[in-house]
Amino acid sequence: MFTINMEEIYKKLFNEFLNGAIDEESKGRYNSAISNYYKALTTLCSLIIYRKNRKTANSHQEVDMFMSILFPDIRGSIDGLYKTYTGTYQNLKKKTDCLDIKDGIKKVIKMAGIEEEFKETLEKI
């Protein structure tokens, strides 16, 4: 029987979204970069949620709910980034908006105490 390792899946998805975001940002495609950075952020949150209670979130709303309950301090530190993400639907974004989401990723990594595991990520962004 094949066992799905959700931690590995979340890590691979995180890296895929993050690398895509870095590539898009380097090309000046800030809206696409923000979308991918935000997906990396929510995937990172999904990973720490899964590690805490073995639950998988199926939407941004579920990630937000679990984060509010399980990690209110972390959730509070990234409050407002969803608006930056959804703002990409109707507005042209700037490099500074990318920086906001990257800072959110850094905060989650540090507040979750997983700096060593994500050392390479911290150096990339």
> For the segment 10-69, what is each residue's pLDDT rounded down to a tens digit?
999 999 999 999 999 999 999 999 999 999 999 999 999 999 999 898 888 899 999 999
Q: What pTM was computed for the model?
A: 0.91
Give the DSSP H/E element, type plus range, for residue 89.
Answer: none
Rounded to whole angstroms, how far apart are CA atoms 112 and 124? 18
Residue with the larger pLDDT of the pair 8 and 1: 8
Could you tell me the two tokens for 11? 């890590």
Q: Is 95 part of a structural domain of the chain?
A: yes
Is 28 a member of any domain?
Answer: yes
Q: Tell me if 50 is assigned to some domain.
A: yes
The CATH number given to whatever domain includes residue 28 is 1.20.120
Using CA atoms, how far apart are residues 115 and 125, in angstroms rounded to an integer?
13
Measured over the CA atoms of residue 81, residue 85, residue 86 and residue 90, the dihedral's sign is positive
* Residue bearing tokens 């935000």: 38
- The total number of structural domains in the chain stands at 1
Q: Is residue 72 part of a domain?
A: yes
Structural domain containing residue 26: 6-124
Backbone angles phi, psi at 76, to 5 degrees: -65, -30
Residue 1 lies in a domain: no
**63, part of any domain:** yes
For the chain, how far is it from start to end, CA to CA, in angstroms?
38
